[in-house]
A and B are shown apart, each in its own frame.
Chain A
């Protein structure tokens, strides 16, 4: 195992080298005189010379790259070109926690949505709940993130009444559907003690679900249109979660849809196995077989895409941060791109890409823990 980890880390070195090269040479892609482009049309020759000096454009390219790399490795990220000229490290320290929080919350929410949805869908394939969920997942995959964000804003910020009625309507339809199915199942018990117990038990489940639905509709929290309240801020954790919820949900929707489709197809093939049949034959209830016997062996592909999704979510926050006006890496990056603040863009690209590379490497290593076949083979 140690050998596998070592090998993987050794493979990272050239990749990180390319990542750093690409981040640095963004500047070189600018056609013509980079300093003149950055300084803008109204710049005086002194301004341009200043910027050229600051970026070290007068030195040979290899030397510039090596100096830049040396500075970055030793923690000196340089200074922003925009007026206050703040150190890039300070800027990054302010924005990174926001982005990470949104990304991690998105992954958590996506798990919370996708696993129950996949269980419900795979339990009875091609029945109405599966049709609705699968179609919904396909639609969610086709929904661009910024549209999803605007849709959520429209319903959960501006037209909250519509959102409440929509949730209530969907919930009531689902409860009625399942109540009807449960009624049919109750008929199969012989009249008497067993049927009585079944009705009592399912009835209480339905009562709790209905209460939860009503509570959700009544106590739907007010989500702010934009802005972010830090955990350490004066408003506390509640305000923080309320400001982070809609952005995280936006990112979670697409991921959840992908995962739900993945987990559903894996679950469906697991449910064909003999040990599931054996568990069912012993008289285990359906939900119990699904949760304890089928879910774990089916969750394998889900775990492997989890890391990739985390990396993607960190990159994807660019859009939600812009829409919800969150002070994260994405907002900083878009501002820097518009303001041609290349040193900031370079560092942001370098940090995000490194994070992505490291997470993917971590997933590869974790994969070895999960699947013995890979552990023994070569990576």
Chain B
């Protein structure tokens, strides 16, 4: 289902945060490869630096050592070829839902904000993306007027609107309740199935990782976090959350991941 060739590559990425007195060695020579069209989850104990790694891929943080490559070109800073979805959704509260997406469209090259004839065209495109996350009805609402799940759907629509080569999702459902999270996961799969874009997602939710991913990258706990294991999820799609419970492979994988992520002495049960 995906090309053999690596698409998003992180080579020997090391990150040391230095302040006046202290230095925190967050990541230590991390290697990561994501193939085109692949859905990869990055999972690890909290504080292991998985979000740092994602921010480095986004270009928001520069690595102390190592390099990031996307589609054969080096990543030197933030860019529209990578669509970021933030955990805190990060919608602008002074804009309506629609304006938030139009803003994303306006920022592109030649999209000088405010030109009216083009503005109308962009609004139409923005509405199309809102429809894809089933939020056409909320176009004129402000972010504080809609629920957390809806906000995150807007965040996803905004990332899709710039048509990036790869989606970077930073614990996109982490701040949501369990039911909303489930339905958003399903929605994300539905959207992803439509054109199978490349996705790198940070999560701390084992089930989420198994249900969504082709590949799960497990990190060790920080400091000096590394890649501990790369697991490929061979459960056929579509994956129904309830049906999964009866698949031995799912239970086995969940147990294996729990074993890696829980502290050694605590009991493991599935």
Question: Do A and B come from the same complex?
Answer: no
> Which A residues have a C-beta under 8 Å from some C-beta of B?
none
> Which B residues have a C-beta under 8 Å from some C-beta of A?
none
